[in-house]
Amino acid sequence: MNVTVMGAGYVGLVTAACLADVGNDVVCLDLDPRRIDLLNAGQVPIYEPGLEQVIQRNCAEGRLRFTTDTMAAIGHAQVQFIAVGTPQAEDGSADLSQVLSAADSIGRHMQGFKLVVTKSTVPVGTGDRVRGAIADALLARNLPHGPEAFAVASNPEFLKEGAAIDDFMRPDRIVIGTDPGPAGERARELLLRLYAPFNRVQERVLSMDLKAAELTKYASNAMLATRISFMNELANLAAEVGLDIEQVRKGMGSDGRIGYSFLYAGTGYGGSCFPKDVRALIRTASAHGRHLRVLEAVEAVNEAQKHILVQKINARFGTNLRGMLFGLWGLAFKPNTDDMREAPSRIVLKALLERGAQVMAHDPVAMAHARKVLEHDFAGRTAMLDRLRYADKPIECVRDADALVIVTEWAAFKSPNFETLKKVMRQPIIFDGRNLYDPAIREQGFEYHAIGR
């Protein structure tokens, strides 16, 4: 099938690349010419394992193209995916300006029937607004603007950063939300054809109403965020009463009704999805006169948890850290990505630098992107930035360091040479924000501070 994907960000690139990889002819549209030039040169502006190889392969074989030509992209395909950004607005709601602009463009340039599929994460009711934007544009052209002209569907993504290719190619479920009636059935049949290659081994398609599909995405992320905040609250209690939260986690997770996923204590969630989606769902409820009290608590717990390492460092060293050096392992909000959005490392770095410390940081992937983000965070605060340096290897971070602070659970950090670590550090002190190590390392001479252990 011919497919157009509007938006060459994280979701758009993964969607375009994976749909092309199963044989579709895909055009990916983005209005940023620098991004399109980069992609056409075979480079990918984000880090996602395997994505660059899939894009390069499909570009070389002619199944995937990138363009800034809106009219050509819309004319290319009957199926139009909207995969543009929905950043957080000042009031916490999702900013739909890019989504509605894409819908308007489709209405202004389309010829013949189009299926418009929202892939972006959008609040309940966005499908109606997309439909209205397209209908208004068609009406302005004196063209038919009813269900015979186009259909709107919701097909939310469930991609984990760091495992997005595998998630798309081997999905847990494929959610298709459509309206009742002939247009909705036509939309569902087109999407079933498109997703047939991903649905052959077992039935993964879940068909539902369009609004239900929109809410399913938010509900899924909100539930995962809830598990994280719940476990972090228990971990903080465990620290107070003197027990190991890992033992509790194993006891809970062994219950098949609960499971182990997203039950790991740490420094809170970050990234592009959970924080934004929890806030947007709270805002949607508020607009309908409802309070989602559980999610309001989830957000509050998470914001507090991002400061947990800072609190532990303050309790150990006080608030004046001048003359001290901290090695920091991990900058990205999670492993296998360079995403710095709402990363707990930014909170930790800000606190350490404001208290006068020097910091040597390392991340296997995110350092180049982190430099730009942190320069923006500390704009105008040159003295603080001068005390932040970056190391190419983890061991270089801790040479003569007063403490090691672990913020991201990269695999490369999970089994260091503790003897070497102890020899090169000024003080063998570890603040482990991801509970990577067994507290038994205290028997090797380390002072070990973890989360609920």
- Amino acid identity, position 29: L
The question of whether 273 is a catalytic residue gets the answer yes
* CA–CA separation, 255 and 414 (whole Å): 27
Is residue 159 within 8 A of residue 172, CB to CB? The reply is no
| Residue in 18, 28, 59, 273 annotated catalytic | 273
Total Cβ atoms within 10 A of residue 91: 11
| Residues belonging to the active site | 273
